[in-house]
Chain A
Amino acid sequence: MVIMRASFLRTALLWSLLEILAAWQVRTADGPILLTWLRAVIHPVVATADRVGDLTVDVGLGIHDLQRVITDNRRLRLQLEEIRARELLLDEDLQALREASRLAGPTSEFEPGARVARCAFRDLSAGTMEVRTESRVVIPRDAAVMTKGGLIGRVVRSEGRRHWLQMLTHVTAAVAVRTTDGSLNGLALGTGTEALTVAYVPRQGHLARGVVLVTSGGDGIFPPGIPAVEVIRVRETEDPFLEVRAVPTVNLKTVRVVLILPDWSPENSGKEQ
């Protein structure tokens, strides 16, 4: 077996040498055919290496492009989400603006100086809200702020486009209210929670749960006739007044657009009337 293998190897070696010797003697237009053989041997290796290099570059570019596509896709998805959210907000804003317009329209005294503002921040537990107007305006302190659902509160600070409100749930807020027919009056006091206390409602008054109380204008801050609170509980106590609990007619959690009434004052109202 070993002898056969040695003989085979010797034969192969000798024949290869003879073939190379013959190839060395043959000339072609490109030179010795041996060089052509070498080129034929090397070319596939070089071509393969070249292709592998190209493939590597292509794969690298592909990966890079894929990463970019993924990033773009993520960014576009975020943008789409943002646009959808903005669309929803705009839709709500538009709806709120229409409502505010409908609300302000019939009330001639609101219209001239009424400003539409957008809620930028609110802290329900603190009873404060920050709203922003489209342009810089000076809103006088204590200007009433409302929306379609009713009263929200009053302006406590104004600075350029930013205006801070004290909502009627604020612990120090107080709004003079009455029933729509004017038979009962009271004072809605903020408690720092969602519910308000309506004080000074006489015991003999007929007040039931679900009744909406509107502003009476008696406090000199809020124009009369704006829905303010809805009664949720009425209790009789030993005091001469009913213990009334109420919640704002406006859902303060979802308010986005508000109407500021800076020009109303009891004096102006009186003159117009």
Chain B
Amino acid sequence: MKSVALALLALFAQRLLGLPGLPSWSSEILLPMALIVALSLKRHERRWPYEALLLGLGWDAVLEPVVGPGGIAWSAAALCLSAASRLVADRSPKAWLGFGAVGTVVVLVVQWLALLPLGLGTSWNPPSMLRTVLFTALWCGAVGTISRLDLPTHWRAYRARKLR
């Protein structure tokens, strides 16, 4: 339930990032990538990433002209990251950053491939792609760092001290 709420929140935020008035690069961050990275790094069980598929479909419904390619792209990214997480033991913010970059590349490439036969293929724009990869990686790294800080524990400790 928490994942669904986070996904909806991420999509909503992603939608907001594209609002007129905000910097053009702001919409280039893939906010839901942090969820995919989290799923691959924190989950221990091995199963097909249906959550990523649903997230991709949601992405398509909110941000894309057709529903479908996003599901493919995001599930592909989740599969790649899931496979990579078995090879990489590191769970530090750096790993979050790297996983975010890899996932972003996979999403962009697979989405481009999936859109290609539909005649809706986006043209390659290397600077934009690089920015997307960079910002998303940084975003994932930031989420990883915050996750590492374990803020709820600190918050609970702080409340306990104050109540005393």
In chain B, positions 39-80 with a C-beta closer than 8 Å to chain A are 48, 53, 57, 60, 65-69, 71-72, 75-76, 79
Q: Answer whether residue B114 sits at the interface, using C-beta atoms and an 8 A cutoff.
A: yes
> Across the interface, do B75 and A19 meet the contact criterion of CB distance under 8 Å?
no
B117 touches A37 (CB 8 A): yes
| Contact with A22, one of B48, B53, B67, B75 (Cβ below 8 angstroms) | B67
Looking at chain B's contact residues, the main secondary structure is: helix
Q: Which of chain A's residues have a CB closer than 8 A to the CB of B76?
A: 15
Q: How far is the CB of B63 from chain A (nearest CB, A)?
A: 14
Given A14-B53, A18-B68, A19-B114: A26 and B119 interface contact (C-beta under 8 Å): yes
List residues of A (9-56) whose CB comes within 8 Å of B's CBs.
10-11, 14-15, 18-23, 25-26, 28, 33, 37
Give Cα A11–Cα B53 distance, bound, in whole angstroms: 10
CB <8 Å contact, B118 and A22: yes
The minimal Cβ–Cβ distance linking A150 to chain B, given in whole angstroms, is: 101
What is the number of contacts between chain A and chain B, taking CB atoms within 8 Å? Answer: 52
Given contacts A23-B117, A33-B118, contact A18 B69 (CB under 8 A): yes
Residues of A within 8 A of B53 (CB): 14, 18
| B146 close to A (CB within 8 Å) | no
The answer to whether B75 touches A23, judged by C-beta atoms less than 8 angstroms apart, is no
Contact of B119 among A7, A15, A33 (CB under 8 A): A33
Interface string of A120-138 (1 = CB under 8 A from B): 0000000000000000000
Task: Kindly report which residue of chain B lies nearest to residue A20, judged by CB atoms.
Answer: B68
How many A residues, CB 8 Å from partner? 16
Rounded to whole angstroms, the CA-CA distance of A18 and B69 in the bound complex is 7
Query: Does B120 touch A at the CB level, under 8 Å?
Result: yes
- Tell me the count of chain B residues lying within 8 A, CB to CB, of chain A: 20
B48 neighbours in A (Cβ, 8 Å): 7, 10-11
Given contacts A18-B68, A21-B68, contact A26 B120 (CB under 8 A): yes
- Per-residue 0/1 for B103-125: is the Cβ within 8 Å of any A Cβ (1 yes, 0 no)? 00000000000110111100000
Bound together, the chains give a CA A26 to CA B65 distance in angstroms of 9
Knowing A10-B48, A11-B48, A37-B117 touch, does A22 contact B79 (C-beta < 8 A)?
no
**Interface set, chain B 91-143, CB cutoff 8 A to A:** 114-115, 117-120
Question: Cβ of B67 and Cβ of A25 under 8 Å apart?
Answer: yes
Query: Which of A14, A20, A33 makes the CB contact (< 8 A) with B75?
Result: A14
Distance between Cα atoms of A23 and B118 in the complex (Å): 6
Q: List 30 A-B contacts (CB under 8 A).
A: A11-B48, A11-B79, A14-B53, A15-B71, A15-B72, A15-B76, A15-B114, A18-B53, A18-B68, A18-B114, A19-B69, A19-B72, A19-B117, A20-B68, A21-B67, A21-B68, A22-B60, A22-B67, A22-B69, A22-B114, A23-B68, A23-B118, A25-B66, A25-B68, A26-B118, A26-B120, A28-B119, A33-B117, A33-B118, A37-B117
Closest 8 CB pairs of A and B: A22-B68, A18-B68, A21-B68, A25-B66, A22-B66, A18-B71, A15-B72, A26-B118
